[in-house]
Every structure is written in structure tokens, then in C-alpha cells.
Structure 1
């Protein structure tokens, strides 16, 4: 595909995306853009060769897994699978019981505050009780777990060319979003900016659908401890978001290289050198190597938004 065709396709997509943003259309469950990430979005969308496609500034959530396929169900019913959860617990009536894109108030997390109010909030109004001692022996492949989760910022940026994507990628990596990567590098590439180092996912109970009851693995004090940990993660997440914003400002102000500073150029050259070496090795062996995300943080990632 020639460069002019890529440019036309990019401009068409960008116009459509910005039009949807201007009209207030937002396909996320929240229905609006997180306020903390708006400055970054506006900055990137002001670039002629980049546009944001999806974003989340970070969130705390309590998630109820969907109905799972019984291990004794016949194969034809397994293939049907329309009302059962996929891997990860989504689908099959899997849903968020609680979601916030900001830290939790210290007032509600204090010891001595009304535990019933806190439990009602995080479990979405579903009543709960301490798990019975025999519960552990009753868990199976059909058990629906309750997860207490923190997920840091994630941002997807459509770019006009691979060169722009690589520059943006090095900027993200230098801001500690080390698990960032590039999707569809042969067309209009998408840069997925993310870090998994701040994320955590803790099972805190199981759901009893017959009684519409949650059986908790931990007491309210333990849940409040997890919530305080998410507040710590939120603070670090905000530091990284601010760092990314400052790096973007710096690179955009650099003459003749609107998405690159000296630091990000050095990182980009390092990344390009690694990729070039791997490409040569892959060609020699007539195969494509899968990069280890723990090795250098620059794999090509699937878009999960």
C-alpha cells in the first residue's frame, strides 16, 4: 500500500474519530472520557499524524465472573456457548459490581466506619457473608469468582506511519509504560500504551447464584486494605501519566521532530536496533520470534479494548 493511500485512510479515520468525540459519542461502559487523561488526548489529537482511539486513565473495579461451562456438558452445548463466559470471566452475565476511575475516599476506608455501607458499595448491593469453612472443598470449574482489581492507564493511538508509532512508543517506554507495543505495523499502526507493573487482581469471594449471595474469602478490614493499596497504585499511575504528558510536550516542541526529543530518539534507536537484529534472525530461521514482554517491554500486542 503506497504512502498516499495510507495518509488518506488515516485522515479519514481521524476525521471520523474526532467527529465522534466532538458529538459526545463514547462506546465505553462509563460513557465519557476520564478527565485525567483529557490533556494527553487533546495533545495527541492536535498532532497531524496521530489520534487517540480508546483510553482509560486507570480504575478500581470489583468484577463478578460470568456463568461458566460445566465440565460435564456435552460438546454440542459447549459449542453453542452463547450464554457462558469466555476466558477471563466475561460474558454469561459477568459484570462489574463496582467501578471507579478515581481513588477511594479515605473516610470510607477508615477502621470503625460502617462496614455494611462499604460492602454494599463494592459488591454492588449484593448481600455477602463470610465463606463457610467447607467452601474450599466445593469449588469447581463452574465457580464464579469475585475479583478486586486495579488496572492502570491504557491508551490506544492510531498513527499515520510506523515511524511516528515508533517515536510515540519510545516516548511511552521512557515514561515507565514498559509493556507498550505496536499493533498492525504494516498499515496505519496503533500504539498500545500500557504498564502491567501496577496492576493486580485478587479473588475475594465466590458468587452463589441460587441465593444471590457473595461468600467472602476475607473480612471487610481485608477488603479495605486492598482498597488502600489501590489508592497507592493510583498515585503512582498519576505520576506516570504526568511524566508521559511532559515527555509528549517536550518531544512535540523539538524542532523538525514533532514527536521526538533527544532522550526518546536514543530510546527509539535502541528499539529499532533490537527489532532489526531480531528481524535478521527471524529471516535466517524462516520464522517470526515472539518477543518476551518481560525482556524489553516492546511486544506487538493485541487490542483488548
Structure 2
């Protein structure tokens, strides 16, 4: 049987994910799969009809916009240097801070703890207000986002059902038209932008200094909000993982009843599977032993009744 396009792509992605972290790099700022969702990625990629193509577990970041075009100047010739887009990306923008986990508040108890962490300088009275075209500095919280390639339309529907039930309300599917070979492999984006936020906290001066527009107390408040949303994000990830496994549980064991599974790591799951296998072996042995019961024993057992035709206790 010829290998399908989906199987070919899945095998290639699995080979890339299988290399050591020191050798694996993707297009994200971190360059590899985020630690908080490695178990989720492993479970998704363990399903025959699914493979992740990109992922971010969620993050708090501080981002310096790229060089903006001077809106006061009419440009007659194409500019040689790239400029930032409306969101500030491109044009030489850079990350000043990134964390894929909540930021411990105790680590920044100093007077300017977050100022130092985010590479900001306190604004003094001589600093003028920044121009509209200035390179602004943002603090952002972005929830988890996953892109999952699916083997069939039914697989994409299962992923969407799990995503929406877990609270990832902006999830959707693309690539819904069959290829020339007739294959239909939708890509599902699992995401929820409703609890993300983006706030301007500073700007870069012409001298290259990053100047804060807010004080340390304001930064602490923003980080505390981001940490709270990390908790929401983590809970939704757990719900998605559980719901997705439930979607595929009847396929792996048609006789199994769907239950509310708790999240479990690889070692716990391995132990559970081992115990379930032993339980099935014991059940089969007991069934075989019962089938060997002699006709005489069955007859004697059937005669242990009282005159009212009820079993004796």
C-alpha cells in the first residue's frame, strides 16, 4: 500500500522532533518545543491521525518593536531597510524577555526588580514624550496555540470538539479542500485569544536606551495579571488533553466506556497500561477456568435451591 501524504509528513516531523534538544531548532524565539506541553505534544503525536506542526505553550514576553517608517516623510523610492508592520514585528524588532512559565514574584522584590529583568531604564524629567513613530516596548501575555495536521476530516472534527470544550474558543480548521491526489488533511489551530493582553510599557530613545513609561509597581501588577492567566491557560491545556484522549479512547478500545480521565505523565500512563494488561490476563484466565467446570458440578450447583425457588444464601 502506498504511503499517504499525511503519513509522509508525519514521519518527517517525528524525525525532527526526535533529535536532541541541542540539535533541534524551529522558528520560535526559543527554538524548540516548550517544556510545559511536551507531554501534550507526545500524546497528540501518538494518535495515528494527528501530528503537530507548530506549538507554543503560552508565554509572557517583553518585545521591542522594529524600526517604524517616519509617517511625516513622503517616501518616493522603495526603502532599502525593512520596517515594522502595524504590530511592531519586523524591522529589527527584538525580544527583551520571554518566559513560558509564570514569573516568580519573589525573585524581583528589589526596588527595580522588573525594570532590570525587562532591561528598562527609569524615565527622568529631561526625557521628552515619544513620537508616534517611536519604537515602543510591549509586555504581552499569549495563551497556548497549537497547529495540528489531521489525516481526515473526522480527525479534525475530533480535535475541534476537544479544543472548544476545553475553552479554546477561537479554534478553527483550514486546508479543507482535497489535494490533487484526493487527500483531505485539514490543519486545526487550537487557540483562545480572549484572555491575552498587550500593554505598552516603554520605548527606545534615539540613543538606544530603553525607557520605561510606567513604574515598578505598575510592572508588578501586569506580571501578576499574566501569572493569573497562566493558571487559566494551564487548566485549559489539561482539559484539552483529557478531552482529546477521550475522543480517541473508543477507537483504541471499542468496549471501553468514556470516563473523565485525569492528566497523567508518560511514566504514570505506562504503569496504568501495564496494570490494565495484567487485569485483562487475569480475567481471561478466570474465564478459562470457569469454562472447565464439569457437568456434574454445574448440576450440583443448579440444585442448591430452596422450595420457594430462590437461591440459598
**Cα shift at 1:254:** 1.9
**Cα shift at 1:160:** 1.2
Q: For 2:57, what is the secondary structure of its paired residue? A: strand
Measure, in 1, the Cα distance between the counterparts of 2:202 and 2:56. Answer: 26
Q: Cα distance 1:73–1:8, how it changes in 2: closer, same or farther (>3 A)?
A: farther
Deviations 1:254-289 (A, max 9, x none): 24799xx989xxxxxxxxxxxxxxxxxxxxxxxxxx
| TM value normalised by structure 2 | 0.72
- Per chain length, whose mean CA-contact separation is higher, i.e. which structure has more relative contact order (CA < 8 Å, sep 6+)? 1
Contact 2:64 2:136 in 1 (8 A): yes
1:19 aligns with 2:22: no
Q: Runs of 5+ in structure 1 lacking a partner?
A: 264-305
Contact 1:131 1:216 in 2 (8 A): no
**Cα shift at 1:215:** 2.5
Measure, in 2, the Cα distance between the counterparts of 1:133 and 1:241. Answer: 47
1:201 aligns with 2:192: no
**Cα shift at 1:249:** 1.7
Query: Which residue does the alignment assign to 1:102?
Result: 101
Measure, in 2, the Cα distance between the counterparts of 1:39 and 1:83. Answer: 39
Query: Which residue does the alignment assign to 2:39?
Result: 39
Q: Cα distance 1:221–1:246, how it changes in 2: closer, same or farther (>3 A)?
A: same
Query: Which residue does the alignment assign to 2:267?
Result: none
**Cα shift at 1:115:** 3.0
Measure, in 1, the Cα distance between the counterparts of 2:101 and 2:114. Answer: 16
Q: How do 1:41-120 and structure 2 match up within 5 A? A: 41-77=41-77, 79-80=78-79, 82-109=81-108, 113-120=109-116
**Cα shift at 1:75:** 3.7
Contact 1:108 1:118 in 2 (8 A): no
Measure, in 1, the Cα distance between the counterparts of 2:226 and 2:167. Answer: 18
Contact 1:69 1:81 in 2 (8 A): no
Deviations 1:171-213 (A, max 9, x none): 10010000001121114211000001120000111111x2222
**Cα shift at 1:38:** 1.2
Q: For 2:4, what is the secondary structure of its paired residue? A: helix
Choose the corresponding residue for 1:220, options 216, 221, 235.
216
Query: Which residue does the alignment assign to 1:192?
Result: 189
Measure, in 2, the Cα distance between the counterparts of 1:155 and 1:185. Answer: 18
Measure, in 1, the Cα distance between the counterparts of 2:251 and 2:51. Answer: 21
Deviations 1:220-277 (A, max 9, x none): 110011001111000110000010111112112124799xx989xxxxxxxxxxxxxx
Measure, in 1, the Cα distance between the counterparts of 2:6 and 2:125. Answer: 57
Q: For 1:192, what is the secondary structure of its paired residue? A: strand
Contact 1:205 1:214 in 2 (8 A): yes
Measure, in 1, the Cα distance between the counterparts of 2:48 and 2:125. Answer: 59
Larger Rg: 2
Q: Cα distance 1:46–1:239, how it changes in 2: closer, same or farther (>3 A)?
A: same
